[in-house]
Amino acid sequence: MNSVEKLFINPTNKNLKLARTAKKKFKVLQAVYEKGKASVNELMTSLDLSFPTLNSLLIELLDQNLITQHERGESIGGRKPNLYELRDELFRVLCIEMDRFGLKINYIDNNCNFLGKGKRYPLSLSRDLSNLPAFIDLVKKYVSDEKIDWNQISGLSISMPGLINKDNGENYTFFYEPNFNLQQHLEEAFGKTILISNDINIASVAEMNFGLMRNRADGLVILMDWGVSLGIIANGKLFLGKNGFAGEMGHISFVEDGELCYCGKRGCLETVASGTALVKRAKADIANGIPTLITNMFEDQDLRPTDILRAAADGDQYAIELISDISSQLGKAIAQFLQVLNPECIILAGTFANAASLITNPIQQQIQTYSMGKISKNCELHVSQLGENGPVLGLSRYFIERYFEDKLKMGENN
């Protein structure tokens, strides 16, 4: 239990005045976190509190070492306002990014300070539960190797591909069997709060709070790794759909009577425009003797999309043409979503983002070909600028935002 947890008092407590004060403090902490560094005027507006009430709460939170008073902010004439921020390490979140063939673990606090070295481990993401014990062991190994005190960890925030229920953390694609709840199982295994979200939702949270979607209301985030998925930001909020399944772009029907996808359907976009499709085509062409630098970059079945991107960066013509072809297919699909959703911005994130103009040029060409000019001209196409730390920032942000939401919701229901 961290210091924020201790602050939260159930509203059914006999001392209702104390309970109400605790809940107000909790809302102040939530508002401060959402704004990053907040002034008194900003907090008064968002919380609808009088200055004397808010000032009293801030003084108490400062005394309890839950917030810090930051350098003064900007002012147009007059005295500059004080800014308030959650103190460092108020939350310590273990962030885990999973893809189909490995996971990366980082340890970070609420102010984006890295508390340990990020490490990547190989692990196949099984459809059943066969590799789940190995996943748990790797997480425990990381904590042990980094000499992290389990008692100091606020919780684990996990991103992974698949159909993931936003409310209960069930993954219906990976680590799945009937009547099994992955999130609940991991909470029992680790004795910590666990939040599991689809990787595209985490990428979108990162872009909304730290990246190019900050201060933009409507946009799309396209995550391109082994698969391809879509984050929809509408009116400044992430659109998840009823169960959290929105954005399964990779499994729209794209090729009539096409290749069978692992999801069980034929002709999915992922079969022709994804890291999986990229690697599969390269392997087939290499087996047929096509000359390419990629041949020297892998052994047996270990070829990864990053190998092909590296060959393209070294000027390999085959790799460049292959990436261009895959990107063109993806661009045609993006153009259709552009027509339907009319975003102001499209952000390309994930492994493929490292290819920069090799993917943006063919995607832009397809957008211009298959979408209306009035729509495409008012939409910017960008590559994410967050780099490899983007998912970590998104994971920590998602965990802490959900923590505040869930605790306040719990108080309202009691």
Roughly what angle, to the nearest 10 degrees, separates helices 51-63 and 16-35?
A: 90
The pLDDT value recorded for residue 76 is 52
Is 92-202+391-413 a domain of CATH 3.30.420.40? yes
Q: Report d(CA 403, CA 398) in Å as an integer.
A: 8
List Cα–Cα distances, 299 to 80, 123, 176, 182, 278, in angstroms: 61, 18, 31, 34, 16
**Domain 3-86, CATH class in plain words:** mainly alpha
- pLDDT at 11 exceeding the cut of 50: no
DSSP code of residue 171: B
For the chain, give every residue range classified as CATH 3.30.420.40. 92-202+391-413, 212-385
In this predicted structure, the answer to whether residue 1 has a pLDDT above a threshold of 60 is: no
Fold of 212-385: Nucleotidyltransferase; domain 5 (3.30.420)
Please say if the pLDDT value at position 184 is more than 60: yes
Report the predicted TM-score, pTM, of the whole model to 2 decimal places. 0.89
CB 232 within 8 A of CB 239: yes
- Could you read off the pLDDT of 352-403 as tens digits, one per residue? 887 778 889 999 999 999 999 888 888 999 999 998 899 999 999 999 999 9
Helix axes 390-413, 16-35, angle to 10 degrees: 160
b/e 159-181 (16+ beta carbons within 10 angstroms → b): bbbbbbbbeebbbebbbbeeeee
Which pLDDT belongs to residue 8?
56
Report how far apart, in Å, the C-alpha atoms of 80 and of each of 41, 73, 74, 83, 290 are. Answer: 12, 6, 6, 9, 66
Q: What 3-state class would DSSP assign to 68?
A: strand
pLDDT digits (tens, 9 = 90+) for 79-136: 567 899 999 999 999 999 999 889 999 999 999 999 989 999 999 999 999 999 999 9
CATH 1.10.10.10, the chain: domain bounds: 3-86
Lowest-confidence segment of 49-58, 150-159, 287-296, 342-351 by average pLDDT: 287-296
State the Cα torsion 11-13-17-18 to the nearest 10°: -100
Q: What does the pLDDT look like over 301-331, one tens digit per residue?
A: 578 888 888 888 889 999 999 999 999 999 9
CA distance 47 to 324: 50
CA neighbor of 27 nearest in space, from 413, 407, 319, 339:
407
Kindly list the distances between the CA atom of residue 207 and the CA atoms of 54, 103, 166, 391, in Å, as whole numbers in the listed order.
Answer: 31, 21, 19, 9
